[in-house]
A = this chain, B = another copy of it.
Amino acid sequence: MKKEEFKKEFLKLKKDSGTHSPSIATLLGALPEVKIDVDACFLSNPYATELFLKYLDQDLIRTNKLRDVLEFYPPQNQDVSRFISKAIGANQKNIFVGNGAIEIIQAVIHRFVGKKLCIIIPTFSSYYEFVRPDTEVIYYRLTKEDNFILDPETFISFVKENQVDSIVIINPNNPNGGYSSLEDLNHIIESLKHLENIIIDESFIHFAYENIDLSQISSEELIKKYSNLIIVKSLSKDFGIAGVRAGYALMSEDKVSSLLSNGYLWNVSGLADYFFKIYSQSDFIKEYNIVRKKYIMNTLIFLTELNSVQNIKVYPSKANFALIELGDRSSFDFYLDLLVDSGVYVRDCSDKIGLEGQFVRIASRTFEENLKIINAIKKVIS
């Protein structure tokens, strides 16, 4: 298939996927001629996927227990949250288990957000796409000049001036990876404790770090102090299990019981329930932290290499991806060249609101794959 034909076909697929990229499965199904060598659109830790598969194999496949997980009804929401409570030490009554973070985002936006929601852009589009018709969205723009980094004071003033009832902070932010320190976040939350909802999306927090030990960061502790906090945890990215659909959120007891009182009965599959079980096991978490740190190291090397490529600008990131600005070159052409010439699939950001210019988002994958990504970019740029 020629590049022009492919371009046309792809644009059709993209249109059907709205403001998200078509998944590899969808893409390959519709365009079987495409050869994808590296999926650098997909934001997850591949080493963690391997670890999960190792446990799955030893616990379920070799023991013939897979049938139980597939055949029977999974436990109810509040039974699954017991494992999470054990894993993170939070009160079970503050835990809501979701069929991926996306279900939690939908539930929170539909049920708790009021008349005015402040969203920081660029962002993950579902946050504004999922709002009810009676919710007004106010956008707070991160700027190129600030490297898309959130300034706490300016943001706090903006939120107060606009009298919103709810805000969303993705930390590190998607699609740029900009990170707000726990200290900054604390300050924002304390200054905005009058709001109805402060939604903190920590989908990429396992890839951030504040010390040389790369210790795991989370604002989960703050749930005890601020009843307006809603902390969303996607496990798809950190644990590399997007197909399993597993996520959870911490929020006030009232909010959890409001959601569970008339819904979300069996929203977690047998496999997700199995994941939550091993998530509460110290042996798994010990092994997980090794692959988490390995992947952060890998990403640091990748970002350093990316930074050395001429004629592109790499924005600061503490996530497992980088936002790249291309100058005069069209991001769609760049994206297409990478895919067709080198089989490297990245995220063209031309549909992202709040990004003016030509941007792509590139994920860090395994060490070997990252080398391929860098070489492919150099080839296209030169």
A297 CB to nearest chain B CB (Å): 21
Across the interface, name the chain B residue whose C-beta is closest to A103: B267
Given known contacts A61-B61, A78-B16, A71 and B265 CB-to-CB distance under 8 angstroms: no
Assembled-state Cα–Cα distance A46/B271 (Å): 19
What is the count of identical protomers in the complex?
2
Alpha-carbon distance A272/B68, docked complex (angstroms): 16
Q: Is the CB of B42 within 8 A of A67?
A: no
A240 on the B face (CB < 8 A): yes
Decide yes or no: A75 and B130 within 8 Å by CB, A70-B241, A99-B99 being known contacts.
Answer: no
A46 / chain B contacts, CB cutoff of 8 Å: 71
Instruction: Say whether B76 contacts A26, CB under 8 Å.
Output: yes
With A67-B53, A264-B106, A267-B99 already in contact, the answer to whether A243 and B73 are too (CB < 8 A) is yes
| Interface flag for A49 (CB, 8 Å) | yes
Q: Is the CB of B262 within 8 A of A130?
A: yes
Of the candidates B103, B106, B243, the one whose C-beta lies within 8 Å of that of A72 is B243
Residue numbers in B under 8 Å from A168 (CB-CB): none
Report the stretch among A17-25, A195-203, A373-381 that lies at the interface: A17-25
A76 touches B25 (CB 8 A): no
Would you give the 0/1 interface string for A103-143, flagging 1 where the beta carbon is closer than 8 Å to chain B? 10010001000000000000000100111100000000000
Chain A 1-45 per-residue mask, 1 if CB under 8 angstroms from chain B, else 0: 000000000000000111010011110010000000001001010
B102 touches A265 (CB 8 A): yes
Q: Given A102-B266, A129-B262: A25 and B75 within 8 A (CB)?
A: yes
Q: Assuming A70-B271, A99-B99, what are 9 further A-B pairs, CB within 8 angstroms?
A: A16-B79, A25-B75, A25-B273, A29-B75, A29-B79, A49-B71, A53-B66, A99-B103, A100-B266
